[in-house]
Amino acid sequence: MALAASHHRLLLLLLAAPAAAAAASGSSRGLVRLRASPSPLATARRICCQSIKAANVLGASPTSDEGVPVPVVHIDQDSDSGATIVQLSFGDRLGALLDTMKALKDLGLDVTKGNVTADSAVTETKFHIMQLGRKVEDPDMLERIRLTIINNLLQYHPESSEKLAMGEFFGVKPPEKKVDIDIATHVLVEDDGPERSILYIETADRPGLLVEMIKIIADTNIDVESAEIDTEGLVAKDKFHVSYRGAKLDSSLSQVLINTLRYYFRRPETEEDSY
């Protein structure tokens, strides 16, 4: 606990300066707008049932048989209306992450708040991030945030390389185990009240995945209102609140979206039409 307290003091020192004042809103043309909206209290109705863990990997990093924990990076667009929340855990091996915070600032981002929690097995670090005085809405920037955090993790904890899909691209040692796209990919759509649906996606991670997923959703004329983006070792587990013309997706549109996403995920592995 003394180590956790030291980490917390270091974060507080770096975060002492106030965040930049909110800038005037610019045009969002060319961006997929991730806008927060209140969650209806209606019970969700499942449209397409497939085995998937809902993207709620906020907690401890699982530990592999070899004793090296699985890194988890979570980007949350729902919990705070004014900031993007980034959460990182890697067992009990994380330091104060001052270099990660500097790297985020070098992207032109303001880290407005940060805290470290620790128990006997897990050290978890959470950052509240803003860009021009508000939460990050540009999918390209969200992907840069994700890759920046993973790249710093690989640099300061090279042992994580074999546990991350990104270790094959940026790490010192690629993962020994590969993820089978067909087995790892699950896509699920559920109702979240009359005005929107929830899209769950779980698939093998790779660079640029987030931007491509949002582009595919937008190309289907579906609006992305908010998102939670998780990287858990070799697998990406994401949740999107989506709507079509201000309403939830009907079963036909849900199936079109599911088929399109599954075709995209499987495309590198097969040349035949998958639906």
Tokens 């497939």 locate to 50
Q: For residue 72, list its beta bridge partners.
A: 89, 232
Q: Look up tokens 């003394």; give the residue.
A: 2
Mean pLDDT of 233-259: 95
Evaluate whether 62 touches 70 at the Cβ level (below 8 Å).
Answer: yes
Tens of pLDDT, residues 247-260: 999 999 999 999 99
Strand order in the sheet with 235-243: 110-118, 123-130, 84-89, 72-76, 223-232, 235-243, 197-204, 186-191
- Report the mean per-residue pLDDT for the chain: 75
3 sits in which H/E element? helix 2-14
CB–CB of 185/204 below 8 Å?
yes
Q: Which residues pair with 84 in a beta bridge?
A: 129
Q: Which residue has the higher pLDDT, 119 or 123?
A: 123
Q: Which residue has the tokens 């992305």?
A: 224
Q: What is the mean pLDDT of the segment spanning 217-232?
A: 93
**Cβ atoms within 10 A of the Cβ of 156, count?**
15
The 3-state DSSP class for residue 237 equals strand
Q: Tell me: the pLDDT tens digits for 175-211? A: 777 777 666 789 999 999 999 999 999 998 988 899 9
**Is the model more confident about 184 or about 27?**
184
Where is pLDDT greater, at 100 or 169? 100
